[in-house]
Amino acid sequence: MIKVLVPYDFSEQAQNALDFTTGLANKIENVHVDVVHVLEVPYSSSVGTMGGGEVMPEIENQIFFVEMMEKRKKQIEDLQKKYSNKNFTFQAKLKLGNAFKSISESILEEEPDMVVMGSKGSSGIEEVLIGSNTEKIVRTATCPVITVKSKTDPENFKKIVFASDFREDEDEIARRMKNLQTLFNADLYFVVVNTPANFETTRESIKRIKMFAKKYGFEGVKAEIYNSRSEESGIIEFAEDIDADLIAMATHGRTGFLHLITGSIAEDVVNHAKRPVWTLKVK
């Protein structure tokens, strides 16, 4: 059985992710879809007369929260009914707490084979300082994450771009890429983006791609070298040029200060690409 976890906040982007997942579930057999909605508990900080800080919910927020919880419970029930009696199993859950923490806990508890998330992307100061829950999940999830931004039909997937420098042996990523290619029955493009800051000859790049493909038994893969100003823009531009259906990448999942210093090409692509992006955190 393939288990897919879909974080769901009743937004258009979340529905796009769910539609993608159910489309995939209709395409293949033996799929279980887990939908989790996280309702965040409102809290505010007030300072008592003795000078001690106390965190407690405001009365207005309490009333709003109770009303919202009842609304969400009804919506979850409607969602469960809507997707019952399909050729896949379906379960919708309501959790209380912080969105990122609750989704991360669900990933650890449910051990899904894949997470599918909707995203609007982020840019500017929001991207630098905060990032989205989607970006944080991409950085930390222990399973592959597919990020969806618009209505996408997995039935029509024909081209997958796997972007890498192919410098490291990655048994896990190679195995996952084979599964992904089989899942969608798609053509696979291995691409190295050549930039002014990290220039190398086409001969060197192609040799490395061929060694990777031979080691892990890939057949019929198209090896491509793409020149661009940056890795992120090159990956997105190449995918646009060949009209790819999915971009696949590995991320090292850096957090904290190291993440602020080095950033992540995979997260940048997730934020800025218009098409779906598949990511997997590797060590």
Ordered per-residue pLDDT tens for the chain, 283 residues: 899 999 999 999 999 999 999 999 998 889 999 999 998 876 655 444 444 444 555 666 777 888 889 999 999 999 999 998 898 999 999 999 899 999 999 999 999 999 999 987 554 433 333 347 888 899 899 999 999 999 999 988 999 999 999 987 788 999 999 999 988 999 999 999 999 988 999 999 999 999 999 999 998 899 999 999 999 999 999 999 999 999 999 987 555 444 333 447 888 899 899 999 999 988 7
In a 13 Å sphere around the CA of 234, the CA atoms on its Cβ side amount to: 21
Tokens (6 digits) for 150: 């618009």
**What digits encode the pLDDT tens for the residues 166-182?**
987 788 999 999 999 98
pLDDT at residue 53, rounded to an integer? 46
What are the chain's domains? 2-129 (3.40.50.620), 151-281 (3.40.50.620)
DSSP, res 198: T
Rg (CA), the chain: 21
pTM confidence score: 0.86
Of residues 170, 143, 16, the one with CA closest to residue 24: 16
What are residue 55's phi and psi, to 5 degrees? -100, 120
Of residues 35, 134, 141, 29, the one with CA closest to residue 88: 29
Instruction: Name, in order, each residue with C-beta under 8 angstroms of 250's C-beta and a sequence gap of 6 or more.
Output: 164, 170, 173, 266, 279, 280, 281, 282
pLDDT at residue 80, rounded to an integer? 94
pLDDT at residue 123, rounded to an integer? 46
pLDDT at residue 256, rounded to an integer? 45
pLDDT at residue 261, rounded to an integer? 37
pLDDT at residue 254, rounded to an integer? 54
d(CA 105, CA 112): 12
Q: Is residue 5 within 8 Å of 137, Cβ to Cβ?
A: no
d(CA 257, CA 121): 22
Of residues 141, 36, 41, 137, the one with CA closest to residue 95: 36
d(CA 104, CA 139): 11
